[in-house]
Amino acid sequence: MSAQSSDRPLLDISNLRIAFRSGRRATVDAVKGVSFQVPRNATVALVGESGSGKSVSSLAVMGLLPADSTIIAPASRILFDGRDLLALSAAERRALCGKEVAMIFQEPMSSLNPVFTVGAQIAEVLRLHMGMSAAQARRRTLELLDEVGIPDPETRIDAYPSQMSGGQQQRVMIAMAIACEPRLLIADEPTTALDVTIQKQILELIARLQKRHAMAVLFITHDLGLVSEIADHVIVMRHGEVREAGPARAVLEQPQDGYTKALLHCRPSLDARPWHLPVIADYMAGPPPQRYAGGDIAEGQGVTPLHPLERQRGSGPDDEPLLVVNNLSKSFYQREGWFGKREFQAVKDVSFTLARGKTLGVVGESGSGKTTVGLTLLRLHQASGGSALFDGRDLLAMSAREFQAYKRRIQIIFQNPYASLNPRFTVGQILLEPMRIHRIGAGERERVALAHQLLEKVGLPASAFLRYPHEFSGGQRQRIAIARCLTMQPEILVCDESVSALDVSVQAQVLNLLQDLQDEFGLSYIFISHDLSVVKYIADQVMVMHQGAVVEMADSDQLYRDPRHPYTRALLAAIPRHG
């Protein structure tokens, strides 16, 4: 490599403009003149919320933009090691992408072919781009699986994607991406859906591979908390434009743009629990409200003097028990042979008490049994043993007819609101249906009035009543799901990863809403999450689950200050921290 080529950046994007067709003639500008560089052997983080244009920019580099998009030429340029990618033929682009430029996608299960083994899929890359024989490709695949930390590669090479965990699937995607030793690796939200411990492992793996293979990495994320773990440089995007760029330490410690400051502060912190989390609008409209430590809030700054700086959490002897769960168990059975079956214990003797108006946080990795606990309490799974006393009545021992009256009192908010909202119903129909079934309201006029009140309560306009779920953003759909639960006037809400898929600012809005509703109606929450920072913010008590069992339970502040169980300490150690 010449001195001149070593001085220029590996990837140089200049004035990139991308438009999408909307209807016959209208276009939407998704990327508006974006310019940035990725130096050789460095990691650059491209940060922004959904709709910021960060993933679209990376797809333009790979030549994977959808058919309804257009890169506006001749101003736009994408140079890879001095070569103009936009000037290459389709065949030249295919030869380059996969060998010298590779990409890891957010959803490995959507990217891996379910009918081929993981070994066959990695070997295909090697045979296509490196010209290896079948035997050579298999040997190299085994080396790659070992390099990315897949246990027992000789066995797992013949496994199908569905037989692997989410973390293992992502490792297979990484193995496929580095198979040809690319010079640029693009990682598009590779840890978003992963547990905090698996997330840390994947970040450490990417950092280790970057150094070992002397690659440049373009790491795309919506969470600035991850940036300090991996990036040398940071580029912050919003609405298709670059808002701020610079060395990672400078951007994280001394952000200049209001949007960057908002991304840093919207996410719950382990060190403080403000009455309300700040949101993007607080920073974009001007300096955020100054909140003084040690007592009251200055007058006229958006928070009343009655609200202290810190929200107090925890349980006390005067708390009124609402739900008492004893020795809850749930087993699933899998056919084995012609007549046999194998038992898998998903939940093992779980016991806890949920107080009225309080929040129980349930944390653990995927497969720990936390979601199964919530679904079993709602009788969406049939319990294998134990009891759940709700106001003295055992929910699990009731007949279906008896439980019908209790369905109103315990409701669930799912992780994916779009999958749980009927796409053929308007928002109004979604809200009115449960009220009709449970005969809430004296008549249709009263139900419609209540639906409009609930829309206002969750921060949606009255016009939402006549619109469909697909017309709303992810955060707005989650508000609709919350409003639907409130139509039943419940006493307990089970929040099953209900904010984990949201951008950090939208997540802050939904957490503030949940807290306001608890303050107003005295709701009790079972808050299930793998995000320990969010649980620290909203929970009074925290229950840690591992392999179906409760390994630790304590008041929120106590557990985070002095974790007793090694598994709890491992979860806390994996939380990304700024700086």
* CATH number, residue 563: 3.40.50.300
8 Å CB contact between 333 and 341: yes
Give the contacts of 150 (CB within 8 A, at least 6 positions apart). Answer: 156, 168, 171, 172, 175
| End residue of a domain, out of 179, 200, 221 | 179
| End residue of a domain, out of 162, 179, 196 | 179
3-state secondary structure (DSSP) of residue 505: helix
Residue 423 structural domain: 321-334+344-574
- Whether the pTM exceeds 0.75: the reply is yes
Region of residue 53 (phi > 0: left; psi between -120 and 50: alpha; otherwise: beta): left
pLDDT at res. 294: 35
Residue by residue, pLDDT tens for the chain (579 residues) are 555 556 789 999 999 999 988 666 668 888 999 999 999 999 999 999 888 899 999 999 999 998 888 888 778 999 999 999 999 998 899 889 888 999 998 778 788 999 999 999 999 999 999 999 999 999 999 999 999 988 899 999 999 998 887 788 889 999 999 999 999 999 998 887 678 888 888 889 999 999 999 999 999 998 887 888 889 999 999 999 999 999 999 999 999 998 998 888 888 888 888 888 888 888 876 655 544 333 333 333 333 333 447 888 888 888 999 999 999 999 988 777 777 788 889 999 999 999 999 999 999 988 889 999 999 999 999 999 999 999 889 999 999 989 988 888 999 998 777 788 999 999 999 999 999 988 888 889 999 999 999 998 888 889 999 999 888 877 788 889 999 999 988 999 999 988 877 788 888 888 998 999 999 999 999 999 988 889 999 999 999 999 999 999 999 999 999 999 999 999 998 887 654
- For residue 42, give Cα distances in angstroms to 184, 248, 369: 10, 12, 39
Phi, psi of 380 (to 5 degrees): -80, -20
pLDDT at res. 297: 36
Q: Which two tokens stand for residue 522?
A: 């005295």
CA distance 480 to 454: 9
Does 453 fall in a domain?
yes
Which residue's structure tokens are 């959803």?
107
Count of residues in the chain: 579
Give the number of domains in the chain.
Answer: 2
8 Å CB contact between 475 and 482: no
Give, to the nearest 10 degrees, the angle between helix 504-521 and helix 474-486. 20
Does 502 fall in a domain?
yes
Q: Which residues pair with 330 in a beta bridge?
A: 347
What count of other Cβ atoms lies within 10 Å of the Cβ of residue 281? 11
3-state secondary structure (DSSP) of residue 78: strand
CA distance 452 to 465: 7
8 Å CB contact between 180 and 141: no
Buried-exposed string 499-532: b where 16+ CB fall within 10 A, e elsewhere: bbbbbbbbbbbbbbbbbebbeeeebbbbbbbbbb
Does 492 fall in a domain?
yes
Note the helical H segments in 273-340: 280-284
pLDDT at res. 24: 67
Q: Which amino acid, one-letter code, is at 392?
A: G
3-state secondary structure (DSSP) of residue 165: coil
Does 202 fall in a domain?
no
What is the sign of the dihedral through the CA atoms of 245, 246, 247 and 250? negative
Q: Which residues pair with 286 in a beta bridge?
A: none
Does 544 fall in a domain?
yes
Does 156 fall in a domain?
yes
Q: Which two tokens stand for residue 100?
A: 């010298």
Q: Which residues pair with 103 in a beta bridge?
A: 186
Q: Which amino acid, one-letter code, is at 415?
A: Q
Does 445 fall in a domain?
yes
Helix (H), strand (E) at residue 343: strand 340-355
Region of residue 216 (phi > 0: left; psi between -120 and 50: alpha; otherwise: beta): beta
pLDDT at res. 296: 36
| End residue of a domain, out of 119, 147, 179 | 179
Does 378 fall in a domain?
yes
Q: Which residues pair with 328 in a beta bridge?
A: 350
